[in-house]
Structure 1
Amino acid sequence: MRAAVPTQTRRISPLAVVGLTLLRLCELALLGVLVGGLVGLAVYHFYSRDLPDPGRLATHRPFETTRIYARDGQTLLYELFDAGQRIVVPLDQVPWALKAATIAVEDGNFYDNPGVDIRGIVRALYLNRQGSVRSGGSTITQQLARNVLLSPEERGEQSYGRKIREAILAYRLSRQFSKDQILSFYLNEVYYGNMAYGVEAAAQGYFGKATRDLTLPEAAILAGLVQSPTELNPLTNPEATKERQRIVLDLMVKQNMLSREQADVAFATPVQLRPSRVDIRAAHFVFHVREQLEQQYGAELLRRGGLRVVTTLDPAMQGLAEQAASQHIAELQQRNAHNASIVVIDPRTSEMLAMVGSVDYNNQTIDGQVNVATAPRQPGSALKPIVYAAAMMAGWTPSTVIWDVPLDVNGYKPMNYDNSFHGAQRLRLALANSFNIPAVKALQFTGIDAFLDLAHSMGITTLQERDTYGLAVALGAGEVKLLDLTTAYTTFANQGYARPTVSILRVSTNHGEVLYSYTPPKGTQVLGSKGEAIAYLISDILSDNAARTPMFGPNSVMRLSDDRPAAVKTGTSNDYKDSWAVGYTPELVVGVWVGNTDNSPMQEVAGANGAGTIWRAVMEQAHAGKPPQPFERPASVEEAKICGSTGLAMAGCPDQIAERFVQGTQPTPKPGQYITVTVGGDGSCLATDLTPISERQQKTFLLPPPEARGWSGPPAPTQPCPAPPSADGTATPDGPDVVAAIDSPASGATLGSTISVTGSAAGYYTLAYGAGQQPTTWTPIAEGLGGVDHGLLGTWDTATLPNGMYTLRLEVALPGNPPQATLATVRIDHDRLAVRLTLPAPDSSFAVGTSVQLVAETNGPVARVEFVVDGQVIGSATQAATWSWLASGRGRHTIEVVAVDVTGQRTTSPPVSVLVQ
């Protein structure tokens, strides 16, 4: 048998392995290139189908115009047309600065790319896939292709397919036209805002000069407008324009077009705007509508797509508003008031019927092109209805008593318009008369956050920097827009239901296709579960002519003819820079501002004698011939009798008045709010056993908080009436000046368990207490021989007594004289509100920058808890009683918490000292 021959394995050298590998890779790469090329070719042919001929660019003609109509669909307000707005200029008349600035900000590689920036497209695709802000990656050539060659409908698409078609067109344009031709087409086509298409119209429209005369600072501004011409409009938003100019100049430096010194000089050079006159009906309203249309449909479709827009504007209402503004400003010019703005809204639909942005759009002296209706200004007292609405949502009523007395909150000392204090004021009177201090206290009660939340839900779009506002915001320290504030008042007129104010009824194409049609929604109830009732009560107070008479008189501008119900509030900012009046009937809401666009002060033009006069003129004319309509009172509002002096529903009150309340919120008397005592003579002294029965009478007094004493009118008497003459007709012999007096506790005080009673007793005395305000039985506390002068009379242990009202009696007997007595009525409340800080612990130490958790604890329900560090309120909590404090400032710091109950009473915790190091 033949042996098997062993096989020999063939060895392959490493060099051969590498060679084979490279060969395979090359084959794969070649295959990939072929496949990629085939795919790319297929994509190119697929998206090239039906593409327009790039040659059309040379014969491009103006597009179809968009028309904006009044609400009747017939009255043309404005036509977005090209005629007179585009003037073609050759490229050699365009200064280097504008060409360079445009290329720097729009397409830095313009002269080098083939019409498409591949890196820009890849970057845009990456950012879009990552969910970042949409990045277009469009070159100047692509923008030109999109704006001129694609249809208006396709321009508005946000799709990769449109991007590919746009890129193909741009590539073809670059092969058919030179770069200078493309740049010339672009500069004559692009939209610069303010109805200016092309550089020549923009140069004349903004600067009043030809393109060839533009300076570098002006060129940088124009080049920066292309990205967002409405938002960056230098006539209406100069701050944003200036920021954009800096970006353009920086890009020119980055691309070595300018030196840093040249860019800085250009940025610092002032630019004089010389806008051209625009003949247009309701110009500010039209531009307000245009801005909304651009946001919804894009600028290109708006200016090229031939849209038909029917707005909410009522030409008759607009006309009478313009006339009222012009007429009354002419009368106020001698007091340095030169401008006015008006907004009129139908509260039943939230449709804007008129908008006067200034008295003369074309008057450059008053900056007439600035729309003051959408410009933030300080509203003064016109914000107060929102403050009080928030307070009502938190439990206050129209009869809640607020003390209008001197107030000092960490150095902030608000004053009233008349520099006076008015003592106890029911909420109705405080709001109707526009007293400042009660409004600040109402904001203290609700908390700034709750007020801002309500304001924003009602339509206020400003007041966003919460940490910067203090209590002065209740008096208009923040800035709001007239349109926003009028919208907020519309919420009151609409029973608490908030809706955005609309200015467009219908948008359709030139073929009749309806793109948008407005149907009024019910809105969102923003005043809470009792919103309809609260809205009605605010309307009832603001239309109460009798309530506001003490400050404004019975026949102010706020009172309409035929006593037509109209709720209105005026406002005046500091130094008379802004005069406001916003008010409404069930059919109409009118907001008016008077002042100067440059914020210069007027000469004592307040809300009533400035904006108020225009408000009344518009209201009277708008309602002429129409019967007065009352504010509809919801079933959840009921009427009750209250005591005018105390705001409480009390039997036997001598000054009873009718008040309206949310059902179930009528204020019932609570211990500590008032005291009823038996007085004698003229009512200035307490009746004693010696006072004739015929001279005794019961009298009720409101018990003021400590800070209001001295401002609250005649206090409850604390001294007994003098003894009557003796039987033989001679006067009872006089004794010491002070026979009997209780110093502490004072009448009306709320007390805890063990009480030290101090005072004076000239002779033998007995100290006793009885239940209620007119006890029939007395329980002894202490007795003594007398001779006590403002000292301790006795110690009263109330630990076993139930909560309630009690009366202390000090009776003193002097030889040869009948006994004399004095009384003090107090409240025992073992469950009174208490608050303490549980974290941090006393004497804790923290490093600078540590977030310290502050935790408070109360023994009952509260409206809110305020956290105070070194006397400054740093936060307010309405839910969990916690707050985070960022430890700063080395050294000792004192932390306290203040609990505020639903009646507005405040209790402060014992202070806790901590060390920051």
Structure 2
Amino acid sequence: MRMRDGLLKMFGLCLLAGVLVAGILFPVFGAAGVISNQASDTVDSMSADLADEPPPLLTTVTDRDGQPIATLYKQYRVPAKPDQISDAMKWALISIEDRRFYEHAGVDWKGTLRAAISNSSGGDTQGASTLTQQYVKNYLINVTYRDDKIGQQRAQEQTIARKLKEARIAIQLETRMSKEQILAGYLNVIEFSRQIYGVGAAAHAYFNTTPDKLTVPQAALLAGMVNNPAVLDPWNNPERATQRRNVVLDTMVQNRKLSAEDAERIKKEPLGVVPDGPNKPASNCVGAGPENGFFCQYVQDYLLEHGMTEDDLYTGGYTIRTTMDRRANHLAKESAEQQVDKDEDNVANTLSLVKPGKNRHEVVALAANRDYGPDAEAGQTEYALPSDVANVTGAGSSFKIFTAAAALERGVTGIFETVAVPGTHVSNVFINGPAHCPGNSYCVSNVGNPPTSMTLQQALATSPNTAFVILLEQAGMKNTLDMAYKLGLRKTMNSNAATGGPPDPDAESAAVRLTQRQFYGPNGDYPGVGAFTLGVSPVSGLEMANVAATIMSGGVWCPPTPIAQITDRDGKPVPIKEEPCEQAVDEGLANSLAVGLSKDDQPGGTAAEAAAAHNWTRPMIGKTGTTQNNGSAAFIGATPQLAGAAMVFRPDQPNGGLVDGGPGNVYASSGTYGNMFGGKTPARTWFGAVSKILEGQPVIPLPQPDPRFE
């Protein structure tokens, strides 16, 4: 029986050797049989991918000067070229994993047959894979099938078919790549635990160094880990990691790459890894920190909306140079925090800044009193407060900008013409007003006792409600909604929060289509709700800043872009398809509107006190806004060099008021009402930042009004 068993085992080994040889020689002699056919699937394309396609890399986001602010990645990997990896690292890996690496042509026949005999005879399982074969397997696991669990399992199957495929690809790789390239390729693709991939990332994460400076003990630890990264993690399992490191040192001695005396000395040394876990950057915009995180978030949102996939963004190895001015962003954050404490419950104070221009509207800063981050208990948030449609209670009377613009465009009035300002107004045009209004009408009154008539310019500075509801009646709801869309409220008016539901594709215009459910009726069949001019709908602070930029750009709308340049992993420019700039409104109208908005910072204007507190003397446009019950407020302002919107609102529990007790003493009211106004916290935030940002820059006058709109 023993002789029979021995003969059967010998026959099995011969058959196995024949299958291996037949599979390996298949590219030359052709294939015959099911096993060979299975092994030949996609070999050519796979070997080409391994030779030509680099693995996932991290994307770097920088400020406008090219200084990094964040990294985005799924696998933390810093690629290293062959000459950027220390000899100690190379020889440590070769000694423990593939001593005949420089002798074989991709497959180690001695090791393969030895492993086959051991495995089939019931001994310990031996892999016998060369570094080239391991490169193939790890590439499949960590790159090709990185998001495919089934594919990863297939890449590790203990089957002859899988081994044949792996071996054939390894042989092909050896004909296309040098040994140094294969070794570096392997060291760039392998995982070193905790989502750390490649020796470049491992050198930094484990030892805060670069791969060219890895010492023998450091290299021995890393080389030993590739066998089982999770089990040999030096922070979780320091004893096992030390034992494995010492085994690597012994193999280096056996391979004559290290003296026995040095090996014994090194074995007595500690592992030397950085304390408290690996030193690696955050994998998303949290890495931009509490100050720059909101800008990074907008960059990500913007690119995903403009054709880039999240997987591409997080694995493509791009360098994204943004338009963020680090100093301006810091001053914006500082000013927002000076007005509202960062940990104040249910109060968000935001500032969004955009650079006007007829070719681009570059976003300069996105800031909030709250820190960007995941720790809600510390007051942090990852909601895009300055850029998204986050203020659900509105920007108040700053929306009167749109009513004034529509009235100018329709010839209802000019900026210096007189408009009526009755103490109260009951509209016979609009409906669904407050409960105290007679019938189904819309009624409105003013705050304080303004004169019963004034110029449109004065009305924009002092903001009487009745005047603008009357102008809205005369200009028409449809025209005013269109104007808001044209000047910049694109994303705002597309949002479900603003529309109250999905748009009607058959409506007459973009603005009506996007907002008719809230302000124009389900089918466009009645004039709408007059409260639109009082700014009661959800709004994006960034888009309000871009409205001001459009006005200061002679009526040219451009998308508020955070992108200066994108380059790929090879340094080549990557274009993105952004909406083209457009002459949204007549240039004369925009210039005249700018003059109409130029008195809010002057004595009698609603922002005069805040402007004076910061010694403001520059020509500018400005408009404050406050919502019902003083629950949110805004200030929209611009100079020829910089446009911005500051908004304060309740992000967590919108219903209720805000109390302004002065800088640093702003809080959410426990009752229904507050005392917040756009000329308080928002205006102080805007002037506090912009006055410092523009220090040293020339004073530029506003454009002259067009006689057609005077």
State the TM-score bracket (shorter-chain normalisation).
0.5 to 0.7
Secondary structure, in 3 states, of the residue corresponding to 1:372?
A: coil
CA distance in 1, matches of 2:620, 2:141: 51
> 1:277 offset after TM fit, Å?
11
Which of 137, 148, 154 is matched with 1:173 structurally?
154
* Aligned residues with identical type, % of pairs: 20
Matches within 5 A, 1:675-824: none
> 1:173 offset after TM fit, Å?
3.4
> 1:340 offset after TM fit, Å?
1.2
Secondary structure, in 3 states, of the residue corresponding to 1:407?
A: strand
Counting strand residues as a fraction of each chain, which structure ranks higher? 1
Give the TM-score normalised by the residue count of structure 2: 0.53
CA distance in 1, matches of 2:534, 2:139: 54
Matches within 5 A, 1:77-226: 77-80=70-73, 82-83=75-76, 149-150=143-144, 173=154, 176=157
What are the Cα deviations for residues 611-632 of structure 1, in whole angstroms up to 9, with x where unaligned? 1101010111011122321013
Bigger relative contact order, structure 1 or 2 (CA pairs below 8 A, ≥6 apart)? 2
> 1:403 offset after TM fit, Å?
1.6
Q: For structure 1, which segment, 369-378 or 430-439, has the greater mean C-alpha deviation from structure 2 after superposition?
A: 369-378
Which of 615, 632, 651 is matched with 2:686 structurally?
615
Matched-pair contact (CA < 8 Å) for 1:562–1:628: no
Matches within 5 A, 1:468-867: 468-469=518-519, 470-516=529-575, 523-527=581-585, 531-544=586-599, 549-550=603-604, 552=606, 555-557=609-611, 561=615, 563-598=617-652, 599=654, 600-603=656-659, 604-633=675-704, 637=705, 662-664=706-708
* Distance change in 2, residues 1:499/1:305 (3 Å): same
Secondary structure, in 3 states, of the residue corresponding to 1:412?
A: strand
CA distance in 1, matches of 2:406, 2:445: 22
> 1:558 offset after TM fit, Å?
7.2
What are the Cα deviations for residues 407-462 of structure 1, in whole angstroms up to 9, with x where unaligned? 112432112122x3531222121112111111111111111111111211222122
* Distance change in 2, residues 1:147/1:619 (3 Å): farther
Is 1:394 aligned to 2:410, yes or no? yes
Matched-pair contact (CA < 8 Å) for 2:456–2:596: no
* Distance change in 2, residues 1:614/1:554 (3 Å): closer
CA distance in 2, matches of 1:466, 1:146: 52
Partner of 2:60: 67
> 1:370 offset after TM fit, Å?
1.8
Secondary structure, in 3 states, of the residue corresponding to 1:617?
A: helix
CA distance in 2, matches of 1:147, 1:428: 67
> 1:472 offset after TM fit, Å?
0.5
> 1:70 offset after TM fit, Å?
0.7
CA distance in 1, matches of 2:629, 2:64: 40
* Distance change in 2, residues 1:558/1:382 (3 Å): farther
Number of aligned residues: 421
* Distance change in 2, residues 1:440/1:458 (3 Å): same
Which of 305, 320, 342 is matched with 2:331 structurally?
320
Matched-pair contact (CA < 8 Å) for 1:347–1:586: yes
What are the Cα deviations for residues 787-809 of structure 1, in whole angstroms up to 9, with x where unaligned? xxxxxxxxxxxxxxxxxxxxxxx
Is 1:280 aligned to 2:288, yes or no? yes
What are the Cα deviations for residues 58-111 of structure 1, in whole angstroms up to 9, with x where unaligned? xx9983211111111134333436459xxxxxxxxxxxxxxxxxxxxxxxxxxx
Matched-pair contact (CA < 8 Å) for 1:376–1:462: no
Which of 375, 379, 404 is matched with 2:389 structurally?
375
Quick one: which amino acid aligns to residue 295 of structure 2?
A: F
CA distance in 1, matches of 2:143, 2:610: 63
Quick one: which amino acid aligns to residue 345 of structure 1?
A: V
Secondary structure, in 3 states, of the residue corresponding to 1:408?
A: strand
Secondary structure, in 3 states, of the residue corresponding to 1:370?
A: coil
* Distance change in 2, residues 1:287/1:324 (3 Å): same
* Distance change in 2, residues 1:480/1:622 (3 Å): same
Matched-pair contact (CA < 8 Å) for 2:57–2:73: no
Which of 339, 353, 356 is matched with 1:344 structurally?
353
What are the Cα deviations for residues 873-906 of structure 1, in whole angstroms up to 9, with x where unaligned? xxxxxxxxxxxxxxxxxxxxxxxxxxxxxxxxxx
CA distance in 2, matches of 1:545, 1:287: 32
Secondary structure, in 3 states, of the residue corresponding to 1:73?
A: coil
Matched-pair contact (CA < 8 Å) for 1:322–1:356: yes
* Distance change in 2, residues 1:565/1:293 (3 Å): same
Quick one: which amino acid aligns to residue 67 of structure 1?
A: T
What are the Cα deviations for residues 823-853 of structure 1, in whole angstroms up to 9, with x where unaligned? xxxxxxxxxxxxxxxxxxxxxxxxxxxxxxx
RMSD: 4.1
Q: For structure 1, which segment, 68-77 or 304-313, has the greater mean C-alpha deviation from structure 2 after superposition?
A: 68-77
Is 1:436 aligned to 2:465, yes or no? yes
Matched-pair contact (CA < 8 Å) for 2:634–2:683: yes
Counting helix residues as a fraction of each chain, which structure ranks higher? 2
Specify every segment of 5 or more residues in structure 2 that has no aligned partner in the other structure, as ranges. 1-36, 78-137, 160-193, 197-282, 428-439, 494-513, 520-528, 660-674
Matched-pair contact (CA < 8 Å) for 2:408–2:709: no
CA distance in 1, matches of 2:410, 2:323: 37
Quick one: which amino acid aligns to residue 447 of structure 2?
A: Y
* Distance change in 2, residues 1:513/1:597 (3 Å): same
Matched-pair contact (CA < 8 Å) for 2:64–2:564: yes
> 1:150 offset after TM fit, Å?
4.1
* Distance change in 2, residues 1:510/1:541 (3 Å): same
CA distance in 2, matches of 1:455, 1:545: 20
Matched-pair contact (CA < 8 Å) for 2:599–2:622: no
> 1:279 offset after TM fit, Å?
4.2
Give the TM-score normalised by the residue count of structure 1: 0.42
> 1:525 offset after TM fit, Å?
1.4
What are the Cα deviations for residues 294-323 of structure 1, in whole angstroms up to 9, with x where unaligned? 342212222222111111111111111111
Is 1:417 aligned to 2:455, yes or no? no
Matched-pair contact (CA < 8 Å) for 1:54–1:172: no
Q: Which has the larger radius of gyration?
A: 1
> 1:353 offset after TM fit, Å?
0.8
Is 1:404 aligned to 2:454, yes or no? no
CA distance in 2, matches of 1:484, 1:380: 15
Which of 484, 502, 516 is matched with 1:466 structurally?
516
Is 1:354 aligned to 2:365, yes or no? yes
CA distance in 1, matches of 2:635, 2:49: 59
Which of 438, 446, 456 is matched with 1:427 structurally?
456
Quick one: which amino acid aligns to residue 615 of structure 1?
A: W
Secondary structure, in 3 states, of the residue corresponding to 2:645?
A: strand
